[in-house]
Amino acid sequence: MSHSDLFSLSGARALVTGASRGIGLTLAKGLARYGAEIVLNGRNTESLASAQSVFEAEGLRASTAVFDVTDQDAVIDGVAAIERDMGPIDILINNAGIQRRAPLEEFSRKDWDDLMSTNVSAVFFVGQAVARHMIPRGRGKIVNICSVQSELARPGIAPYTATKGAVKNLTKGMATDWGRHGLQINGLAPGYFATEMTERLVADEEFTDWLCKRTPSGRWGQVEELVGAAVFLSSRASSFVNGQVLMVDGGITVSL
Ligand code: NDP
């Protein structure tokens, strides 16, 4: 293997969950530019179709797979259909996630359950469904999207913080169980990036002021800046990296 090919994803098929917008869509486009064949997942046919047109407008191609990642039966069927109709899934980006904000003493049971099912159970459902196909092949890459909140708490999002801490440790567990089958499972932990999930924070000048002072790089991240880490963790360049979480956060988690 030549060093110039280390980051090539040519010939690999990547399933990206929650790819209708935001970080998922950006990572999907990034992997496509490095040669991967992309399957965009989402739970809404229309928003996936519009994500597909964003791809086409940029001269890229993607297939779609509509299923709700919190529905385990739908996940198993959806993954089986991709494997049957399109071919093997070599890379999974476990990205779909939600946010709910409220003071912890007022946090509702419904919001708690929604967070746990989307941010934790679904990472297990999709990871397990894909791994069952990868294990007999003896190879496969899974990238679980974690967060700075895997490490740090912020007011009003304690349950989200719990979910992202769980994803970090689930990543270690997946690597421990499936590494011996030739799989690599790592985490990618974004800091603060402007997407629909963070639009309230983006509009909050006081928050941005705090963030810029608190972050060594002194600014919000740009979603494109997550692509390099995702390509690294999806490619041969990371061939002996397993169970790690790569922080892409401008240094916020290492600085007081
Ligand atoms: P967005 O809200 O912009 O996008 C979330 C995506 O997940 C959407 O495509 C949404 O689709 C999809 N999704 C949600 N629930 C489901 C479901 N049940 N089944 C299938 N798809 C679903 O969020 P971001 O792009 O900002 O976040 C992506 C990931 O990155 C999340 O895991 C988030 O926790 C994490 N993250 C984000 C940070 C940030 O600063 N933005 C920081 C750290 C981590 P739909 O259109 O159907 O809602």
Q: Whole domain around residue 122: which residue ranges?
A: 3-192+222-247
Could you read off the pLDDT of 94-114 as tens digits, one per residue? 999 999 999 999 999 999 999
- Tell me if 15 is assigned to some domain: yes
253 lies in some domain: no
- Establish if 207 belongs to a structural domain: no
Rg (CA), the chain: 18
* pTM for the model: 0.98
149 CA closest ligand 1 atom index: 43
Q: How many domains does the chain have?
A: 1
| Domain contains 151 | yes
DSSP state of 118: I
- Report yes or no on 211 lying in a domain: no
210 is a domain residue? no
The residue length of the chain stands at 256
Rounded Cα–Cα distance for residues 52 and 20 (Å)? 8
For residue 68 and ligand 1, the question of a CB distance below 6 A is answered with yes
For 156, which DSSP code?
T
Residue nearest to ligand 1 atom 39, measured at CA: 193
221 lines ligand 1 (CB under 6 A): no
**pLDDT (average), residues 136-140:** 98
- Is pLDDT above 80 for 3? no
CATH number for the domain spanning 52: value is 3.40.50.720
Q: Is residue 217 part of a domain?
A: no
Distance CA 191, CA 256 (A): 15
Closest CA to 196 of 17, 80, 23: 23
Task: Quote ipTM for the complex.
Answer: 0.99
Residue 256 lies in a domain: no
Probe target for ligand 1 pocket from 45, 98, 111, 120, with the most ligand atoms within 8 Å of CB: 98
Give tens-digit pLDDT for 11-33.
999 999 999 999 999 999 999 99
